[in-house]
Amino acid sequence: MDTPARPWTRERFQLGEGLRWTESGLLGVDILSGRLFVLDTEAPGRPVHTVLRLDHPLGAVAPVRGAAGTFVAAMGTGVATVAAGADGAARVTWLARPEEGAPAAMRMNDGCCDPAGRFWAGSMAYDETVGAGALYRVDRDRTVHRVLEGYTVPNGPAFSPDGRLMYIADSADGRIDVFPVRRGGELGAGRVFARLTEGGPDGMQVDGAGHLWAAVWGAGRVHRYAPEGELERAVSVPAAQPTSVCVVGNARPHLFVTSAAIGLDPADEYDGAVFRLAVDVPAPPAAVFGGAS
């Protein structure tokens, strides 16, 4: 049985997102400040450790296989690899900046790796121009491909443990889509997996039972959907804008949830906090770029 969501951090984030359980610990980002951080998953209230601070908005990262401390990142108007140099400053190597010079001012948003080691990330307009966003796939050879168009605020994606299904949300439209993923990373015909009547689906993760967890921005909830798309449960979070989810641990799994304080005036006590609650099903750790973890 799930327990109530417990505030876990003293720090409050403007736009906390992108939780991923990795060998480096539980990583997350504060998008607009360009900050990559790691959370202590065992003790609440400890200071949040900053791993990197970048000069661009940072949507999400994934570790690079065989390169400790290096990440592929959805940031600014494109995708780059990032790492801390000897002096602590971030080293950035751009792979592509496909949204540079777009008609609307754009930034990258959420992203993750699939089990085959490809990185997928969405883009959106700062002013949320309808349909301006896209989904990109970064192959293991570091080439970048535009694979979906017409999204306004793409969030996720999230992949089934076998990598054969990809879920992607359009938060602005209140829907989650699902696509079959072919062996080479091409997408088959998609369909609407779920529609929300309140709030917008944000960050997502598929657990070990094949159920999809989704943060629900604007509704103060986290949803868990069965593989057929039925809402299996809804968990309240004491923050208006939950943004991402991540299950940590196997013997005693817990779900961590980020939230955002941006746009709330005034923000309530726990808006922008990270929360933790016990759950009954574990989830695979985040896949790494270049190959499965």
Q: What is the spatial distance between Cα 264 and Cα 271, in angstroms, rounded to a whole number? A: 8
Q: Average pLDDT for residues 19-24, to the nearest whole number?
A: 95
- Token digits of residue 37: 């951080």
How far from chain centre, in Å, is Cα 99? Answer: 19
Write the pLDDT tens digit of every residue in 43-90.
Answer: 999 999 999 999 999 999 999 999 999 999 999 999 999 998 877 789
Write the pLDDT tens digit of every residue in 239-292.
Answer: 999 999 999 999 999 999 999 999 999 999 999 999 999 999 999 999 999 964
Q: Residue 169's pLDDT band (boundaries 50, 70, 90)?
A: very high
Do the Cβ atoms of 122 and 131 come closer than 8 Å?
Answer: no
> pLDDT at position 291, please?
63
Write the pLDDT tens digit of every residue in 207-244.
Answer: 999 999 999 999 999 999 999 999 999 999 999 999 99
What distance, in Å, lies between the first and last C-alpha atoms of the chain?
A: 29
Secondary structure of residue 218 in the 3-state scheme: coil
Q: What is the spatial distance between Cα 25 and Cα 192, in angstroms, rounded to a whole number? A: 33
> pLDDT at position 88, please?
74
How far from chain centre, in Å, is Cα 120? Answer: 10
Task: Write the CA distances from 165 to 145, 161, 185, 293, integer angstroms.
Answer: 18, 9, 11, 18
- Considering the candidates 110, 114, 202, 271, report the single residue annotated as catalytic: 202
293: pLDDT strictly greater than 90: no
- Token digits of residue 60: 């999400």
Phi-psi region of 34 (alpha: psi -120 to 50; beta: other; left: phi over 0): left
Phi, psi of 172 (to 5 degrees): -70, -25
- Catalytic annotation present for 30: no
